[in-house]
Amino acid sequence: MTNTTETSTTPRGELALQTLTMPKDTNANGDIFGGWLVSQMDLAAGIMTKRVVQGRSATVAIKDVVFLLPVSVGAIVSCYTDIVKIGNTSLQIAVEVWINNTRNSKGRQKAAEGLFVFVALDEQGKPQPIPH
Ligand SMILES: CC(C)(COP(=O)(O)OP(=O)(O)OC[C@H]1O[C@@H](n2cnc3c(N)ncnc32)[C@H](O)[C@@H]1OP(=O)(O)O)[C@@H](O)C(=O)NCCC(=O)NCCS
């Protein structure tokens, strides 16, 4: 787990996923569709969950997603994850999306954040304890 007192210019947690935005992922304004961004965040949290659970898991809740900046086509999208809590069968992962927009020279900026809750599942798809 990461020290949350770090400055807002520093991503929280570790890099779990990095990708490039494409024209097919735009909304009616020509910016990147929020649902696409949430999908990347879910994948990033899923990758982190896989490392902990080492088996089947599923997203049970997505909380407090906030879109802070528009994301343009051609931006590098980096999803950082930080485990907030490991419960009995669930774990909560804070996800931050940072972008490098090619259209401006502002460097790395936080574009979105949210809390993703995953549940470890057995072969029958029922919750099972996470090994600590
Ligand atoms: C995940 C699933 C198996 C959980 O079943 P369930 O009967 O609700 O399980 P439980 O009530 O025992 O909860 C399991 C854990 O999830 C947590 N949880 C359940 N709903 C939650 C919510 N809305 N927010 C936060 N945590 C939640 C519980 O607190 C519990 O955590 P703990 O064991 O660490 O204390 C079931 O809801 C499911 O299959 N959902 C679909 C998942 C899926 O397909 N996701 C992909 C996107 S569609």
Residues lining ligand 1, judged by CB closer than 6 Å? 58-61, 87-90, 117, 119, 125, 127
pLDDT given for residue 103 in this prediction: 63
* CA-nearest residue, atom 17 of ligand 1: 90
DSSP run (H or E) holding 36: helix 34-53
CB 111 within 8 Å of CB 98: yes
Handedness of CA 115, 78, 37, 17 (dihedral sign): negative
- The topology (CATH level 3) of 14-120 is Thiol Ester Dehydrase; Chain A (3.10.129)
Element (H, E) at 96: strand 90-100
Cα–Cα distance between 35 and 78 in angstroms, integer? 16
Model pLDDT for residues 7-49, shown as the tens digit of each residue:
578 999 999 999 999 999 999 999 999 999 999 999 999 999 9
What residue ranges do the domains of the chain occupy? 14-120
pTM of the model: 0.93
Question: Which residue among 42, 56, 119 is best mutated to probe the pocket of ligand 1, counting the most ligand atoms within 8 A of its Cβ?
Answer: 119
